[in-house]
A and B are shown apart, each in its own frame.
Chain A
């Protein structure tokens, strides 16, 4: 199998702790309000096969803040609709002058495939159920800004972990830095094999146990159509796993409540929890821009 193109960011799993710390350090030097022309003249191709609000807009703003040009290609309205293969689309975008491709795709491994056949860096902006590395990095950035460290933190991840690329990336990242991670959800959303993903993972089916004295609580979006395929009703899920103010109080006093978005108020969390002082949801989105500036600069070898 070919090796991935240099500079690509395909996932957190195979990154070293030093790579991650380097990106977080670089992100701290990035300020979207003070543009730095590190990527002047570079072309950043945003290739989105799936809907996205946060990831797409923040990658675009990050690229522009570094002086790059951006072009957005969506699966609808492009030749992808006519049946063009992923690699042929990649070759086309490289031929029009892309220096880096940021790709969001519904299938696991799509970014890795592209990185193995194009000689330009590929950034994974979410591939199926696999990984969403920029989300994990911005979450780590958000946590470190508040808690100063990741080591020894007690983290609860609650919800549909099986289908979640955000959870997989977060677990890899936090595990590399010695966080103690408790995964919580019904068996349909959290199979026992999940503990094989990284070291030091625990599973509980009781949300109260998961959040008890936690430093960080990550809630995940629950899709009603996925619940429909299980024996759990929406009401069951809400009563057993929804993050409420009462459950949040079981965590440490200064615990952070996180969510990658989009949030569904009234399902995985209550309206009050989403807007409470401990909620870092908006902060996460804000931090997405400097973190993605760092990712793009690193990918193109302009990390300074």
Chain B
């Protein structure tokens, strides 16, 4: 068998194909050839032959999942994660494409680093789409060269980890990016209101004696950005890791206007609340923080009704010495690639009766649309051969110690999940297969 690209085919047989972009939810065979989708047909009806077959009976076959928000930590922080380990975790979680954040060391603010991230030497096992810094060193002052970054492969710009706080700088970012159809991803946090804060403002923060981040610190930035985006035709504002009911209201207003406003929600924000911080468990510390129960309820409604465009993990690996320390000093962030699907099925499908097709949309067509990832997020003929195959009934326990990520800072170690990835296919080839 010749494994060179351009001469390999794989037939995924007998699975229930859910492709929301193509409005398909039926038992279908999917033939992948030359890295692309060659044919979709009812069982046994594909015309071509395949080198290999994958028996997907009883399983869901979906377009490859796309994660808009991942920290792969390279360049510079390989002790937390590398592109190789991070993408291995992505594959195990069913993600065939990840968009990586630029808050590395150094910050990815030049075309050279954007190119570097995509080189084969990095050892990525899934597609990596770099997001570049919006300002030099993400200091929030001097804009980077958006055109050059886009040409090098950047799918968006952001200063993630920090907001683009200054009104004038954010206006310029939206204006320049609107000219080249480049999404701006905002980490919405008015840091003037969150100084020394380590969790959500509320009863748990008061009880623990921790300074609390108010929901208004997120909502006020989203409100401002939605207004600014309306000033420029073609501006694309994407709100990262949205976590509060008030910010959702601003996004809904933005979606009713002519500007393109999108948002993502993380699994931990729809699965947990600030009360789960318990007794200073730093695996429950991230930014934005876990919010109140009413915020969580609002996110569940918005995930169901279409306000939310994508589920994104904000996978943020950290080493033990950055997490097993005093709560207020501990790094923000948790890993999330391997638990996203299981949490979505438990909390959204089982818990809140959101149909599987909508959940698949939030992992596929939704995120593909946000960053205009052409030929992805769907399996119509001619698309990239990225496929996620999962068992929606499978109950399993997540063992953090066996994570493919270099880091194990997750609040879901030992969690009972429902819905497990069986195989992940990138460019027509299986890159992950569950034992």
Task: Please tell me if the beta carbons of A112 and B280 are within 8 angstroms of each other in the complex.
Answer: yes
Q: Is B106 an interface residue (CB 8 A)?
A: no
Q: Which residues of A contact B324 (CB under 8 A)?
A: 87, 113, 117
Q: Is B48 an interface residue (CB 8 A)?
A: no
Task: Please tell me if the beta carbons of A112 and B329 are within 8 angstroms of each other in the complex.
Answer: no
**Selected interface stretch from A193-201, A231-239, A270-278:** A193-201
Q: Which residues of A contact B326 (CB under 8 A)?
A: 86, 105, 107, 109-110, 113
Q: Is B209 an interface residue (CB 8 A)?
A: yes
* B331 smallest CB distance to A (angstroms): 13
- The digit string for B199-224, where 1 denotes a CB below 8 A from any CB of A, is 00111011111100000000000000
Q: Is A191 an interface residue (CB 8 A)?
A: yes
Task: Please tell me if the beta carbons of A191 and B280 are within 8 angstroms of each other in the complex.
Answer: no
Task: Please tell me if the beta carbons of A168 and B202 are within 8 angstroms of each other in the complex.
Answer: no
CB < 8 Å neighbour of A108 from B201, B325, B327: B327
* A103 smallest CB distance to B (angstroms): 11
Task: Please tell me if the beta carbons of B207 and A129 are within 8 angstroms of each other in the complex.
Answer: no
Q: Is B328 an interface residue (CB 8 A)?
A: yes
Which chain A residues (1-34) contact chain B, with CB distance < 8 Å?
Answer: 1, 13
Task: Please tell me if the beta carbons of A85 and B321 are within 8 angstroms of each other in the complex.
Answer: yes
Q: Is B168 an interface residue (CB 8 A)?
A: no
Task: Please tell me if the beta carbons of B203 and A112 are within 8 angstroms of each other in the complex.
Answer: no
A-B residue pair count with CB separations less than 8 angstroms: 64
CB < 8 Å neighbour of A196 from B203, B208, B210, B279: B203
Q: Which residues of A contact B208 (CB under 8 A)?
A: 108-109, 130
Q: Is B278 an interface residue (CB 8 A)?
A: yes
- The range of chain B's interface size is 20 to 34
Q: Which residues of A contact B112 (CB under 8 A)?
A: none
Task: Please tell me if the beta carbons of B325 and A193 are within 8 angstroms of each other in the complex.
Answer: no
Given A1-B278, A108-B280, A112-B279, A129 contacting B210 (CB threshold 8 A) = yes
Task: Please tell me if the beta carbons of B206 and A108 are within 8 angstroms of each other in the complex.
Answer: no
Q: Which residues of B contact A13 (CB under 8 A)?
A: 207
Task: Please tell me if the beta carbons of B206 and A85 are within 8 angstroms of each other in the complex.
Answer: no
| Bound CA–CA A191/B205 (angstroms) | 12
Q: Is B281 an interface residue (CB 8 A)?
A: yes
| Bound CA–CA A113/B209 (angstroms) | 15
Q: Is A127 an interface residue (CB 8 A)?
A: yes
Q: Which residues of A contact B206 (CB under 8 A)?
A: 162, 191, 193-194, 196-197
- The digit string for A40-83, where 1 denotes a CB below 8 A from any CB of B, is 00000000000000000000000000000000000000000000
- The digit string for B228-258, where 1 denotes a CB below 8 A from any CB of A, is 0000000000000000000000000000000
Task: Please tell me if the beta carbons of B209 and A196 are within 8 angstroms of each other in the complex.
Answer: no
CB < 8 Å neighbour of A197 from B207, B281, B321: B207
| Bound CA–CA A85/B330 (angstroms) | 12
* A169 smallest CB distance to B (angstroms): 10
Q: Is A165 an interface residue (CB 8 A)?
A: yes
- The digit string for B41-70, where 1 denotes a CB below 8 A from any CB of A, is 000000000000000000000000000000
* A234 smallest CB distance to B (angstroms): 23
Q: Which residues of A contact B328 (CB under 8 A)?
A: 107-109, 128
Q: Is A131 an interface residue (CB 8 A)?
A: yes
Task: Please tell me if the beta carbons of A108 and B209 are within 8 angstroms of each other in the complex.
Answer: yes
**Which of B207, B278, B325: most chain A Cβ within 10 A?**
B207
Which chain B residues (130-155) contact chain A, with CB distance < 8 Å?
Answer: none
| Bound CA–CA A156/B282 (angstroms) | 35
* B413 smallest CB distance to A (angstroms): 10
Residues of A with Cβ closer than 8 Å to B?
Answer: 1, 13, 85-87, 105, 107-110, 112-113, 117, 127-131, 162, 165, 168, 191, 193-194, 196-197
Instruction: Identify 8 residue pairs between A and B in the complex whose beta-carbon atoms are under 8 Å apart, listed by A's number.
Output: A108-B210, A109-B326, A110-B326, A117-B324, A128-B328, A193-B201, A194-B206, A196-B207
